[in-house]
Each structure stands twice: as structure tokens, then as C-alpha cells.
Amino acid sequence: MSVRNIIVDSSVVVKWLSADNEDYLTQADKLLFEVEKEKVRLYAPELAKYEVTNALLKGKKLPKTVVEEALSVLHSLPIQYMLETLELAQIAYGIGKELNITYYDASFMALAYSLNAVLVTDNIKHQKQTKNVKVVNLKDY
Amino acid sequence: MQITAIIRGRGQLTIPEEIRKSLNWISESVAVTISIVSDSKVLIEPHRITSKVNWNLLRSSISRVREFTGKTGNLAKFIVQDREAH
């Protein structure tokens, strides 16, 4: 059986670090289980690390005494973080223009396009399905 | 098997078809790990992220970290709003 490539949006990655008022934790855990069983591979742009860490800093305002373990989990998750290339930047810019979404939202879609992968997101309002990028709502995973 | 190939602009190297056919893991969209072995040797291997994961430890760490108390709120929504705010 072939292994499916999945891009996880930062709105999904945070589910593995915080349960506070978060929806669809079961679906997020299912994703990790499928990685363990080598059914899927997870990818995200390097940007995800910055967004998630900023959410811990400014959103959750985790005290310094516990943040070390949260960061350790973030950096040990089985996600392949991909650096941006000129090609990815051009694709993301085009998607951002076409869908009138932020470059941040589009960069995850561009990676999905580039790796012929599915984007799983809890931000379905902005990351819409297009002809070239398959987007799945975490709720439906 | 040994084949000579040319590195093109921006460091791009096409893995020759003969090699791709001999190794079924070299296909489109497969992530690889590239390591420098010596001054004149580079190693390309299929990326195997799952083999490095201690799953029991990861699961228990996730459970513990999820319980950390900070400011209450939905971080997924925070990220969505944060993107729009820039």
C-alpha cells in the first residue's frame, strides 16, 4: 500500500500541544496514528514552527517553566518541515492572489500542490479546495 | 551501477532513469535525506521519519503538554486570526 503525503496546517499542529477549547483532537490523533502505521507522511512549511510557537507565546501565554516541554514536543513531532524555495514562493503567491487569502495560508496550499499531497486544516474558511489542491477539513478526517 | 550526470542551475540534479528504475523508492514527491559523507561523496537516502520516533514517549508527552494551563483559548483560532492580523 502506498504512503500518502499530507500537509498539516498550523491549526492542526497546535492540537498536539493544547487541548484547551480545541476541537477535533480525535481526528488529530488519528493522523499521528496513521503516521505510526506508515500509512501517511506529514509535511509542513517551516513557517508552521513559528506560527505554533507564537500561539504558545502570545495565545496561550505559557509560562517559561513549562514551555520547554511543549517546544520539545513540537520539535519531535513526526513532521518533515520544508524550507521555502523560489518555486514554492511563486506558487504560494499565485494561490494567494487567486483565492484572495494570506501568503501564510497559501504557503501550506503551495506545499500540498508541490508534493501532490492533501492539506488537512482546521482553517477551512481560508484554505479552500481548488482545482489543483485537495483540502480536507480536520473535522472530516 | 555508476552513471555520470551534470548538475544544472540552482544545484538541480536529475537522477538518471536507469537508477530510478533500479530503485523503486526514487519517485516523484518522495522526501529524501541528503548527507555529506566526505569531501567528494554525498549520500541520498529515503527519508524515514517514523523510525526515529519514540511513539510511547511522544504520546505521553503530548498528553502532559495538552494539560498545561496558560491563558485559555482556542489556539487554532488564534493562528487563523494572527495570519489575518499581519
CB A109 within 8 A of CB A135: yes
Task: State the CATH number of the domain containing residue A39.
Answer: 3.40.50.1010
Contacts of B53 in chain A (CB under 8 A): 35-36, 76, 78
State pTM to two decimals.
0.81
Give yes or no for A102 touching B (CB within 8 A).
Answer: yes
In a domain, B71, yes or no: yes
In a domain, B73, yes or no: yes
The reply to whether B39 and B62 lie within a common domain is: no
Share of chain B above pLDDT 90, in %: 42
Tally of structural domains, chain B: 2
Q: Which residue of B has its CA nearest to A37?
A: B50
Q: What is the pLDDT of residue A130?
A: 86
In a domain, B19, yes or no: yes
- pLDDT of A2 higher than 90: no
Full domain range(s) for residue A54: 4-140
The reply to whether B15 and B40 lie within a common domain is: yes
Tally of structural domains, chain A: 1
- Say what angle helices A47-54 and A64-76 make with each other, to 10 degrees: 150
In a domain, B4, yes or no: no
Full domain range(s) for residue B24: 9-46
ipTM for this model: 0.91
Give yes or no for B49 touching A (CB within 8 A).
Answer: yes
Give yes or no for B24 touching A (CB within 8 A).
Answer: no
The reply to whether B59 and B39 lie within a common domain is: no
Out of A22, A36, A77, the one facing B75 most closely (by C-beta) is A22
Contacts of A38 in chain B (CB under 8 A): 50
In a domain, B3, yes or no: no
Instruction: Name the pLDDT band for A19 (thresholds 50, 70, 90).
Output: very high
Q: Which residue of B has its CA nearest to A38?
A: B50
Q: Which residue of A has its CA nearest to B85?
A: A102
Give yes or no for B64 touching A (CB within 8 A).
Answer: yes
CB B65 within 8 A of CB A73: yes
CA nearest to A125, candidates B30, B81, B69, B39: B81
The reply to whether B38 and B67 lie within a common domain is: no
In a domain, B38, yes or no: yes
Cβ distance of B70 and A43 shorter than 8 Å = no
Higher pLDDT, residue A27 or B21: A27
In a domain, B1, yes or no: no
Interval A78-102 mean pLDDT: 93
CB A38 within 8 A of CB A78: no
Instruction: Name the pLDDT band for B48 (thresholds 50, 70, 90).
Output: low
The reply to whether B16 and B38 lie within a common domain is: yes
The reply to whether B15 and B38 lie within a common domain is: yes
The reply to whether B42 and B59 lie within a common domain is: no
